[in-house]
Amino acid sequence: MDVPGLFNYWIVIVLMMTGFYVVISRGNLIKKIVGLNIFQTSVFILYISMGKIIGGTAPIVAPGVTVYSNPLPHVLILTAIVVGVATTALGLALIVRIKEAFGTVEESEILQQRDDDA
């Protein structure tokens, strides 16, 4: 087994699962968003690791350089990061409205209030 060659992917999976665990196990909505961000960054690292070529350089054409890393994952992730912050902002805006409507950002307390109202 090629340990240094697969180490990137393993850490990506550890990060991804940590983010996933935060999202499904924690009731605090802000922490869920942070967990989602960890998950998201792990996907970015997965893509960029796959685009890397050992001995290559950044994909900006320069004289005397022949090996470049793959630019395609960079393009995909570049746009994904900015879209990610836009959707994070939307999620945070929703949390602020939830806090104003229910007085809490804990999932269990929100559900309890809804049951009390019903």
Partner 1 sequence: MRRHLVLRVTTKLLMPFILLFALYVQFHGDFGPGGGFQAGVIFGAGFILYALVYGVENARQVAPDPVIRVIIAAGLLLYVGVGFAGLFLGGKFLDYNVLASDPVSGQHLGILLVEFGVGTTVAATMITIFFTFAGRGQDGS
Partner 2 sequence: MARQEGGRVIEIVVDIVLLSFLAVMAVGILRLHNLFAVVMLSGIYSLISASLFVTMDAVDVAFTEAAVGGGISTVLMLGTLALTTDRENLRVADLQILPLIVVLITGAALIYGTLDMPSYGDPQAPVHQHVADRYIAEGPTATGVPNIVTAVLASYRGYDTMGELTVIFTAGIGVMLLLGAGTRRRKG
Among 2, 115, 116, 117, binds partner 2 (CB under 8 A): 2
Chain residues 31-70 in contact with partner 1, contact rule CB under 8 A: 58, 60
Region at 40 (left for phi over 0; alpha for psi -120 to 50; beta for the rest): alpha
Give the CA dihedral 50, 55, 58, 62, nearest 10 degrees. -150
| Part of the chain binding partner 1 (CB under 8 A), chosen from 3-11, 40-48, 84-92, 106-114 | 84-92
Is 52 a binding residue for partner 2 by CB under 8 A? The answer is yes
75/33 Cα distance (integer angstroms): 24
Q: How far is the CB of 25 from partner 1 (least distance, A)?
A: 27
Chain residues 76-115 in contact with partner 2, contact rule CB under 8 A: 76-90, 92-97, 99-101, 104-106, 108-109
Region at 54 (left for phi over 0; alpha for psi -120 to 50; beta for the rest): beta
Q: How far is CA 18 from the centre of its chain?
A: 11
Among 61, 115, 117, 118, binds partner 2 (CB under 8 A): 61
Is 96 a binding residue for partner 1 by CB under 8 A? The answer is yes
